[in-house]
Structure 1
């Protein structure tokens, strides 16, 4: 009888898949990174406990394109500075991805807040335009011109924090205790350039990053990078404390009611 591909794999096949996943070649991306200072209260409001605001009220946007074994991938992230147990890092609020495969692994394994979206990085000469878009709205746009090469940093360790959870089957709370995941990346850079430009945040009911007001632009860079990734559960968290924040993960139509207040 012909083998049914949805059928069970053998133990040898399972182990071979695990071993193969650990031997991937370096995957290099070309990406734009913009960092700015926002209001301290804004950062404090979006951080679920036990995360605390970082040393500075920073927001970081990463907009990258990747040639993933001949298949183009757009990957983005909007994150705020955060701290846990003395470790400084970033708490991503939304991570648009252009393919389902890139989305699923990060959400299911690490708890990353990935969503399908449009991610573009375009460069013509020294002019660069990078965008994150969903539901027809380019809610983040970074535009500018390359102003010169920067020294290459050594291997840099970077930390992101995620909350991994499953909403309950009956719609009330979670199935099991949510956990806080600390993800560590060791990043290598082979090309890095400074940019002069601007960050535009557009209003979106589903991706309300416009609330992360640009008070002072710290830097914009464009570079070619690769990194590894490992994660660990560092704490089981209070379900009741996390519940008010889970709308961050989903396209909640009620966020339409959260539009910024405007004076009459």
Structure 2
């Protein structure tokens, strides 16, 4: 008898539900330019009333099995929107450590994950975290954990992604259906504190989050606790709705982007 591990062998309990994680997280909500928020959103998502961006840097301990825990850092940005009455965030950037978590999230849920190098340092109440790709540190957050906000009630929040297979023969098209998906993240935080600090974006042609600037910080918090992540298919969408946005999940340093006219600039 010999083994062939390119074929799935018997498993005792196939994982079909959500993944349970323990997290230490800096969460932020900030306003950007309304024109940029609108331009970031593919159909059929509808912009939120205010041009708000959700940002989260999380140090995650993923409890894959009772015996196996994988620790990673993860950066997520999403523009707030609405789909059929459910508020959520369209994820336009997601970077984290580890090939397996990146490929599984892209293939299973349509998450625009990229492999990154992250740091998370907590020394007493001082926290500093970074995210880097291609040798460029394009995200930093640093500050001090503030006043205790009390234990929050468990809640669930939602994020939207698109799942598809780019065409073998025709760039900009897809083979088969393209799906709108929804991530369902159940939060059960044990600690909730204010966070006195700053978020800094740095130029990177590979990850141009500087193009979605912070105009006004609405909230900045530090939380710890448990989270359960899962997702679902919502519907198929015409491939042309998502095609211009697919570049977000690839490294495309030569992409010139599109020009966005800001109302503020027009007034000036």
TM score, norm. by length of structure 2: 0.87
| 2:207 corresponds to | 207
**What is the alpha-carbon distance in structure 1 between the residues aligned to residue 86 and residue 17 of structure 2?**
27
Inter-CA distance 260–147: structure 2 relative to 1 (3 Å threshold) = farther
For the 8 Å contact 1:118–1:134, the answer to whether it is kept is: yes
| 2:176 corresponds to | 176
Q: Which of residues 35, 41, 50 is equivalent to 1:41?
A: 35
Give how far 1:241 is off. Answer: 2.2
Secondary structure at the residue paired with 2:101? helix
Inter-CA distance 224–167: structure 2 relative to 1 (3 Å threshold) = same
Inter-CA distance 242–67: structure 2 relative to 1 (3 Å threshold) = closer
For the 8 Å contact 1:75–1:119, the answer to whether it is kept is: yes
Give how far 1:249 is off. Answer: 1.3
Secondary structure at the residue paired with 1:27? strand
Give how far 1:119 is off. Answer: 2.0
Q: What are the within-5 Å matches in structure 2 for residues 83-98 of structure 1?
A: 83-98=82-97
Structure 2: gaps (5+ residues)? 63-67, 261-268
Inter-CA distance 8–127: structure 2 relative to 1 (3 Å threshold) = closer
Count of residue correspondences? 254
| 2:264 corresponds to | none
For the 8 Å contact 2:26–2:57, the answer to whether it is kept is: yes
- Cα RMSD of the aligned pairs, angstroms, is 2.1
Q: Which has the higher helix share?
A: 1
Give how far 1:4 is off. Answer: 2.1
| 1:31 corresponds to | 25
**What is the alpha-carbon distance in structure 2 between the residues aligned to residue 259 and residue 238 of structure 1?**
21
| 2:248 corresponds to | 248
Task: Say yes or no: does 1:4 pair with 2:4.
Answer: yes
| 1:119 corresponds to | 118
| 1:156 corresponds to | 155
Give how far 1:21 is off. Answer: 5.4
Inter-CA distance 114–23: structure 2 relative to 1 (3 Å threshold) = closer
**What is the alpha-carbon distance in structure 1 between the residues aligned to residue 28 and residue 96 of structure 2?**
18
For the 8 Å contact 1:79–1:92, the answer to whether it is kept is: yes
Give how far 1:75 is off. Answer: 1.5
CA distances 1:145-185 after superposition (whole Å, capped 9, x unpaired): 12211111111110000000110111331011211001212
| 2:223 corresponds to | 223
Give how far 1:23 is off. Answer: 8.8
Q: Which of residues 27, 48, 54 is equivalent to 1:54?
A: 48
Secondary structure at the residue paired with 1:153? coil
